[in-house]
Amino acid sequence: MISKISLRAAVALAALALTAPALAQQAAKQEPRFGVGVGLTGSSVSGSAAQNGTGSPDFGTLFFVPLNLAPHFRLEPFLGWARASLDNVPVGVGGNQQFSPFLQGKSSDITFGVGGFYVAPVAPQVQVYLGGRLASQWQSIQDNAGDKASRRNTILAAALGGEYLPVPRVAFGGELQLGLIWYGDTDYTAPGASISGGGGSGSATQGTLFVRFYLL
């Protein structure tokens, strides 16, 4: 009797061992691997190059492409964009806290970069991620008199975020960044004149609310 029970137990364990890899592979196939996302962001900037408006908020839009390359690793290229075109451009819109004394005209920020994150589930529909982002930022502004200023900055930031998935392929969440900014030389051009100089460094905090859609 004992030998029959042992034989049955051995057969059951063998069957479980054979089916476990298949179940793990099926679960891996069900995990979303690729998606797109959009976020609304606000930041506060300070430093040696933020002459006017230190700590002023800067608002923009971020577009994400999350790539879940492994169960706990995410690579995420992203694109950021902010623009203002007003009669009186307020300090803090579109990066204008960095450019003075431009008060009227239009400005734009374009940021392109990539993030790498460790992702950990903390509840059946909730996961958090921790990592960093590296980006290049192009800022430009032109006033109504034809004067222009532009420069390229480098941003390195630590990031902590969390997302809630009400369904497997849709995630709502938020992210907080703490970063350093290295400002490039500013190229100023005006009718009949041009000059280049400046530069510096600073720090920034940024908060983002986002939604991600996992497609594959």
Would strands 148-167 and 73-86 be described as parallel, antiparallel, or unpaired?
unpaired
Longest dimension (CA), the chain: 102
The H or E element containing residue 153 is: strand 148-167
Same domain? For 39 and 21 the reply is no
Q: What's the angle, vertex CA 44, arms to CA 102 and CA 89, rounded to 5?
A: 25
Same domain? For 60 and 162 the reply is yes
- Average pLDDT for residues 65-87, to the nearest whole number? 88
Give residue 51's pLDDT.
Answer: 37
Q: Which residues, other chains included, contact 179 with Cβ-Cβ below 8 Å and sequence gap of 6+?
A: 133, 155, 156, 157, 158, 203, 204, 205, 206
Same domain? For 147 and 115 the reply is yes
Same domain? For 24 and 38 the reply is no
State CA 105 to chain mean position distance.
Answer: 28
Among 32-36, 42-46, 173-177, the range scoring the smallest mean pLDDT is: 42-46
Does residue 3 carry a pLDDT above 60?
A: no
Same domain? For 11 and 49 the reply is no
pLDDT digits (tens, 9 = 90+) for 37-46: 999 988 776 6
Same domain? For 49 and 4 the reply is no
CA distance 11 to 167: 37
Would strands 73-86 and 57-64 be described as parallel, antiparallel, or unpaired?
antiparallel
Per-residue confidence at 19, pLDDT binned at 50, 70, 90?
very low
Same domain? For 183 and 148 the reply is yes
Q: What is the CATH number of the domain that holds 181?
A: 2.40.160.20
Give residue 66's pLDDT.
Answer: 95
In terms of residue numbers, what domain contains 98? Answer: 32-214
Same domain? For 135 and 108 the reply is yes
pLDDT digits (tens, 9 = 90+) for 118-154: 999 999 999 999 999 999 999 888 877 778 888 999 9
Same domain? For 111 and 75 the reply is yes
Q: What's the angle, vertex CA 138, arms to CA 133 and CA 140, rounded to 5?
A: 145
Per-residue confidence at 155, pLDDT binned at 50, 70, 90?
very high
Same domain? For 26 and 56 the reply is no
Specify the number of domains making up the chain.
Answer: 2
